[in-house]
Amino acid sequence: MSFCTEFMRDEKGQASVEAALLIPVLFVLLLLLIQPGILLYNHMVMKAAASEGCRLLMTKTDVAGASDEKYRAYILRRLGAIPPQDNFHVHSAGVCSWEIELNGNESSAEVAVTIRNKVKPLPLLDGAGKLLGILGASGAFEQEVTMHMPTQPDWVASNAEGLNPRAWVEKNA
């Protein structure tokens, strides 16, 4: 056998060449799986915080004052489960991208909490996001969650006597 034929059959280094081609592809696939996971995690935490905020707003009375700051602080504490890292939640130079909108109180028929968030995309996905038009004007994903809840359960509103809970107390006292 000639040296050339023997050299062509030698498979030393084949794994290194395959790894050099395969590792970047695996990293890109991993990157493509991480971004949706981050967005899903954010959505779940935001939805839970909005739901807790609605439950709290159901008890808001005029005695507590007109300020919503206590309620916003409560919701922000729940949103603390999301790290203040730009890939989870844009939080730069002391400016927080959380936008919290509160509607209603105990005398309303329904309460609502809306939470908005901005998430900086991971590298390589920012260019793709711009091309697809799924990024906002700031170059970030914009997430929004809105929760609506009635302040009274259906059975209270539809009771046979048409009494509200306050009337029940007065009737039975």
* pLDDT tens digits along 32-53: 888 889 899 999 999 999 999 9
Residues of the chain with pLDDT under 70: 1-12, 64-66, 93-94, 155-169, 171-173
pLDDT in tens, 8-27: 566 667 778 888 888 988 88
- Cα–Cα distance between 52 and 54 in angstroms, integer? 5
pLDDT at residue number 159: 66
Burial of 153 (0-12, 13-18, 19+ CB in 10 A): exposed
Single-letter residue type at 13: G
